[in-house]
Amino acid sequence: MSSGTEDRNYGMIAHGLVVLNGASAFMGSLGSLGWAAAVASVVLYFVWKSRSPFVVRHAKQAAGVQVFLFLLSVVLFPFTMLFTVGAAASGSLGGVVALVFLVSLFNLAVGVATIVCGVMGLMRAQKGEEYTYPVVGALVDRIDV
């Protein structure tokens, strides 16, 4: 897959948006930037879909991993709330603190992994190479959108 400078730049932007999404876990009130980054990746995919297979491949991977992270948060949030409320209702302050600590630790790990994978994708796009995200990348490749 050949890529010109413009294609490589847009591929880097796609992965840079993944880095922004991962960094949003540490931004507190600016955490909504992660949502904006995910939307921007999807828009980048659809805008470049008919122009450049290189940009489309990178944007699809970036958008796919961000959609996966969104779905993961949607699935895990109710369980976290259920267990937190259950621990609080049973009067276990230690259980609430431990649960909040574990969830925060998980969010930290996912945020760091997202940043690291996004930077790896960014560097591969800069070199004009393909990049497939671990865990969800192969699934994203099989989805025909």
Q: What residue ranges do the domains of the chain occupy? A: 5-142
pLDDT at 28: 66
Closest to 42 measured CA to CA, from 21, 73, 72, 28: 21
Helical ranges in 24-136 per DSSP H: 33-48, 53-89, 93-126
Task: Confirm whether pTM is higher than 0.75.
Answer: yes
Contact 13, 44 (CB under 8 A): yes
Residue type at 29 in one-letter notation: S
* Mean pLDDT per 10-residue section of the chain, whose length is 145 residues: 78 88 74 77 84 87 86 82 80 79 84 90 90 86 78
